[in-house]
Each structure stands twice: as structure tokens, then as C-alpha cells.
Structure 1
């Protein structure tokens, strides 16, 4: 199709844009041994600018070198089946790649006859790491807490009203409601496999504060966000997995939260640490209120849904009927929260305040 030619599938790695020539190929589903052959070799750099943010040093008159940290979880993908992937990169770029042996700590070191060859090998490795990263389940997400005292109170009232006024709604029970202290606006998710990656993601968020967040919020602080209205993730209100709340700016420029979310995701996307959700250009802004994955399969629906044993039932996920909830509470007003900080939050890990454990927090004032 003409639209495929005019808007090819691309991936950003370390500030460079790569085009995947076959848009039908899903780069997250390759087996390790054929990832390089089917993906990397068919990518081309769209931006030829020499803007690599890493150091290449001259070892002697005939050799150059650079080093990079790679989580041990991705080393197997770089080596490939029987070492084929590593050898292919070395052959194509005329480099020698030194990878720490299993159980050893240290960075990958690349040696080559020129800066260009060393940089080319590093970019190939980064593409493999990025593609491998996108296969992993997310470990962290960028969030804006939406758990002000006002919102928590109104949310608890909403929960009580729903359970009281919608008794005939199939599959709806108390265990599906998120805890009030955990209410948040999700901006984007990512997989961070070790401390080095967590430090780098924290650095990215800190940089984004100065380059993206504060310039965008200038003249709009304090920014107040109203949580009002309901929506759901699928097309059938009688078969819902996630019911979420909508957000809007309170007395500020309309669309500012959307612009901020999109800009942050783009910043992490260009660094190779985050993918666009379903390749959408815009973040789907949502504050999860009810989620069927939290269901407690017990005769007693009042079991504490935060209990680890309750959260990991092996039964198939069961949807709930939200038709009546949407009919009665579609414009429910949960109140206002002030944007004071943006978090790099850890999934499945809670802090002492009941909110997600932060890896990094940037203030917005």
C-alpha cells in the first residue's frame, strides 16, 4: 500500500532512526538465532548525522575501541546460536567484540580499525538489545499519582455505590477495584533488567524534566488534573477487563496532559527504552479503576485483593459486565489532583505510602 511506503515502520536506537523495510515483520517476535539475519541486516539508518552520545577511544595507531553495558539477560541474543550472531557482526563491521563470560561482570568491549567500524558494531548490538527488550514484560512505568485525598475519598464512595447499585452486574466484585493509594495516570511502560538500566532510565527522566516537562508546563503551574468520566479498553461494555477514568486539565490549556505524555514517551522511545503502544502516535491516557486481573477466585469476595496469593490465580481471566456501571456513573467526578511530580515507578512493588515504589521522581514546580 502507498501508506506503507510513505510511512515505513521505524525504530529509534540511541537517537538514530532505523527503517524496517518489511513493515509486516514484527521485530519483537524473532527467535534469537534469526533476529540478526531477518531484522538487523535489513535496517538502514535514516539519520546520517554523527550524533552518537558515546565515546570511541584510540587504543593505538591501528585500533579504536568503545564499551557498552548490556544486561546479562540480552547477552545470549547478541551471541546467537553457536555464536553465529556475534561472528556475523564482527565479519560485517570488521571488528572484534569481547563479551564477559557467564558469571563475570563487565561491559562489552568492541575493537575495530576505525571509529566508523566500532560505531557500526555498537549500533548493531543496540538494535538486538532493543528488539530483545521489547519481548520482555514491562517492569517499570512512568506515572503521575492521582491519589490526592479528595480523589481517594470520592473513589471509595464510587466503589461503595457501584457495589450497592449494580448488584446484577456479572463478574463484578470488590476484589477488582484498585486500591485508592495506587490510583495513577499511566504515561508509558518499559522493561529495565538491571541496576545499570534503571540508572540510565532515571537519567533519561531527569533530562526530560529540563528538556521537555518544565518548558511545556511553563505558565501552567500549578497544573491541576480532574479525574472525571468512565471508559473501557474493549468494544463490548458487557465484556470488560479494564474500566478506567478519564482526565482533563482544570483551568489550563486543553490537551496539555496529552502533549506532555506523548513527549515523554517519544523521549524514551528515541533512546530505545520504550516502544509506542500498538505503534500509536498518542498515549492512551487512563487511570485504571477496575481491572479483572485482580479478581480473587474465592467464595469470599471480600478477600484482600492485595494478597500475593490472590493476585496470581491460574484460572483464565474473567471479564465483567460494566453496562450498568457505565449507565449510572458514566460522568462520575472523582475530584482533582495537582501535578507535583512524575514517577518512574516499579510494577508490583509498593512504597510505605501505599503508592508504587519509585526508581526516580522528578518534581514539577
Structure 2
């Protein structure tokens, strides 16, 4: 029960009732003072003086208190006031005292069924691991989604204070409201994962480990971007030739151009006579048209794949929290022996030759890649990749729509989705007809596949390649035995 003899207690109950029952029209503190027989004028004056000297209380925070957490004590109340500028925080310790008069008065006069659970019911909470990348969907624009859930479900959502933490806490007065709020949040997460959340990881077969291949990619970019830029500079320079002036002391000034001479006669210091009849008609050749450059075809440096990240893509993944990343790492490591068996425990090499488009036509290409050919055409590489895909699907780490995709090994060289700047739009594309004409039959070389990575997008290691969360080795080349 609540002690009625202390005036400081009424101030705490006043704050509590403001949050627990907003429909009270009269001042709760005055009401308590009146019904308990302590509504004295000096009590009101003392309280007003106390508030005035403290600068006024702007905010009173209250949280539900569990009955199990309140220990019995004597009828002593303590109020600790701490001043910080205009803000005053009060810590109120409420003692549970059995007082029949106060108990019956409170039950009959103020605390209805709506308020009782807030003061006596035990607080329930649930920790839900959501992942840092999904928190923005739970909050919504300017916190709109969070506010809606809290108001509809009668809960409080506590978000982590650090970006490294990936769990939220749902607090409520009953298990039912907490459970319903968690289901609502889970539905929001599922929708975001399916439609809005970008891929965070992928299984890759690194190719950037070969310097000769990265050099070819650099030359590929320079030939498309650099050559056109040089032509544009040369064209601009040819149009910047200045005419020359030659002033002679004999009173004649010649302006020399292309087969044009104008005679100027100086009559005095202020007047100059020009003989216009001596100016011949001259026709100049038209200016040559401006040579096209890469930007005219929707091509800029940002849509080229960085040579230090060149790879083959096996499977795209959405791993939105640490738990799923750790699970994916474990899955990849656990199937190492199965992958080697699928490769017949022999090295596997591929050849990259030509170019092709993944989406759209050459005139409106979105992804340009180099096709992959397995040396020997035994299908061992595809078998090994399928072992990896099946393991991740069985572990529940692959979205349903991605699990249905047919594997197509490819090495992307250009992707319009990577474009930076104002030109980027939803269905962005570029004209690859000129590129295909020049590099459509390019032989990029033969390369040994050495390992498979669980790579993290947008994060890079010191060598410039995607951050490796886990990896498994592929069989290497057999060393020749030395003979005498």
C-alpha cells in the first residue's frame, strides 16, 4: 500500500497519475490531500515555494514499478532534488505501508481499473535481435512507424545506443501486448527483407588475385574513358588559335587573319580612317563536329567494376544480423570436403572470353560481363557451386526467389546500378554497342579457381578485395616431381 502521511509521496503519485490516467480532470495531488485530511493551506504554500525555488519542474519521468521489486519498509519517504540549469530531477522512493484508511480511500476515489495495472502490474519485456540494417525500417520516417506501434500496442520500443548492437527491447504491461508488438515488428522486417533491403553478402570466386587480369581491366577502362577524353581535348585545343597583331611605325596597321588585310590610315591623333572597299569577301570552312565521348553513351567511371574486386558470383545473400553471418560462415566451412569431392579433388580452371549483357539490349545495357568457360568442359565447377547453393538453401539463409534462380557464372565488368551522381535512376542503363564492337571477342585469359569466399559487400580488406567472412580452398595445381 502507499503511505498517506508524507507530502512528498503525493507529489510522486501526482506525476504517476499524469502518465497512467490522462482523463483525470482535477489535480490528483489536491484530491489526495483533500480526502486524506491533510489539505492544509500551509502544505500548498510549502509545495509552491519549493517548486518556485527550484525553477519549476519541466518534466517528470515515470516508469511502471513491479510489486515484486518493492520491499517492505517503514513509513519513510525520501525526495532527492538535483538541479541542472532549469531542469530538476526528483527520485522518489515509495514505501509499501499497510494503511487501511488510505488503501480504502484510494481504491474508492482515484485508482480505477485502468490505472491499477500501471502501478501494480509487473512490467514485461522482450529482447528481439533485428540487425542494424533493419532498425531504420522499424523506426520509419521520422519515427512514424515506431510511434504507431507503441500507440496501438501499448508498448515502448527501446533501440540500441550503439550501431554495433543489433537488438531492440519491447517493454509493456502484459505479455500479450509485448507479443503482439513483436509479431508486428517481425512482419515489418519480413517485408523490408523481401523488397527493400539490399544484398549484404555473396559467395564469390576471387579473380582479382591475378595481376595480369587486373591490368587488362585497367586498360579496358582507359581505352573507353581515356581515348575519347584525349580526342575532346585535342579538338578544343585546335579552336583556341589566337590571331596576331603587328603594329607598324609608318602609320599603317595590319590585322592579319586568313587572307585578310585591312588598311588603316591615321589622319590625326583622334581619328582613324578605314578603307572598307579593300576588304575581300572570305568564307571560312565549317567547324568540325564535336567527337562523341563516353558520357554521351551513359558511360562514366563509376559503373566499371573495380579491378581489385574482380570475381565470379555464385550466390547472393541477405544477412542482416551477426547471427546470420555466423551461420553462413559455419555453413561454408562445413561443406569444404563436399566441394572438393564435387571437383574430383582436382584443380579447376576457367577461361574468360568476350562480352555479353545480363539485362537489356546492347543499346540499353544494365550489366556487361565476361562469359565463363570451364577448361575441360566436365561441369565440375558448376557441380561444386551447386553444392554450395544447396547447403545455404537448406540452412534457410537464401530467400525463396533467389533459391529458384538458375546458376549462371559470370564476371561482371560494368554495372549501371553502381552509377554515382544525378544521372542514376531506377532502370538505369548505358549504350554498350561501341564497347561490344571493340571488345566483343576479347580473350581475357585462363585462370585457376583457388578458393570460395563468403564476401561482405561495401566492406574491403587491405588488398582492395571484399571483406572475407569465411573461405574454403579449392584443389591446387599438382607440383611436378623433380627427377634426376
TM-score tier (shorter): 0.5 to 0.7
CA contact (8 A) 1:151 1:336 kept: no
Any conservation in 1 of the 2:393–2:403 contact (CA below 8 Å)? Answer: no
Selected match of 1:139 from 200, 216, 229: 200
User: Normalising by structure 1, what TM-score?
Assistant: 0.58
Quote the offset at 1:168 in angstroms.
Answer: 5.5
Q: Is 1:226 aligned to 2:351, yes or no?
A: yes
The CA distance in 1 between the partners of 2:343 and 2:167, in whole Å, is 38
SS in 1 for 2:203: strand
Give per-residue Cα distances to partners, 1:159-200, cap 9 Å, x unaligned. 333444896661223333222111011111112222222111
Residues 334 and 167 of structure 1: is their aligned pair in 2 closer, same or farther, counting only changes over 3 Å? farther
Query: Is the 8 Å Cα contact of residues 214 and 307 (structure 2) preserved in structure 1?
Result: yes
Residue 195 of structure 1 corresponds to which residue in structure 2? 322
Q: Which residue of 2 aligns with 1:25?
A: none
Alignment-derived partner of residue 340 in structure 2: 214
Task: Quote the Cα distance in structure 2 between the aligned partners of 1:346 and 1:223.
Answer: 24
Structure ID, larger Rg: 2
Unaligned runs of 5+ residues in structure 2 are 1-126, 139-147, 169-184, 229-290, 476-484
Change (3 A) 1:344 1:126: farther
1:41 corresponds to = none
CA-to-aligned-CA distance 1:3-40 (integer Å, 9 cap, x gap): xxxxxxxxxxxxxxxxxxxxxxxxxxxxxxxxxxxxxx
Residue matched to 1:268: 392
TM-score by length of structure 2 reads 0.45
- CA distance in structure 1 between the partners assigned to 2:406 and 2:432 by the alignment: 26
Distance in 2, matches of 1:106 and 1:146, equals: 33
Distance in 1 (alpha carbons) for counterparts of 2:188 and 2:299: 43
Q: Distance in 2 between matches of 1:162 and 1:315?
A: 19
Q: Distance in 2 between matches of 1:276 and 1:245?
A: 27
Deviations 1:138-171 (A, max 9, x none): 1111111111122112222333334448966612
Higher-RCO chain (CA-CA 8 Å, sequence separation at least 6)? 1
* 1:102 shift after superposition: 5.7
Matched, 1:328 2:438: yes
Cα-Cα RMSD = 4.1
Cα separation, partners in 2 of 1:215 and 1:69, compared to 1, 3 Å: farther
Q: Is the 8 A contact 2:131 2:166 kept in 1?
A: no
Please report how far the alpha carbon of residue 103 of structure 1 lies from its aligned counterpart in structure 2 after TM superposition. Answer: 5.2
Per-residue deviation, 1:261: 2.7
Question: Does the alignment pair 1:158 with 2:158?
Answer: no
How far, CA to CA, are the matches of 2:354 and 2:416 in structure 1? 19
Structure 1 residues 311-350: aligned runs within 5 Å: 311=420, 313-317=421-425, 318-350=428-460
Between the aligned partners of 1:226 and 1:252, the Cα distance in structure 2 is 11
Q: Could you report, residue by residue, the CA deviation over 1:293-330 in whole angstroms, capped at 9, with x for unpaired residues?
A: 333xxxxxxxxxxxxxxx4x354334211012112321
Query: Are 1:242 and 2:350 an aligned pair?
Result: no
User: 2-side partners of 1:176 and 1:353: how far apart?
Assistant: 21
Q: Does 1:205 align with 2:266?
A: no
Q: 1:129, CA displacement in angstroms?
A: 7.3
> Any idea what the Cα deviations from partners look like across 1:258-317, whole Å, max 9, x if unmatched?
33333322221222211265664412322110122333xxxxxxxxxxxxxxx4x35433
Corresponding pairs, count: 256
Q: Once structures 1 and 2 are overlaid, which stretch shifts more, 231-240 or 198-207?
A: 231-240
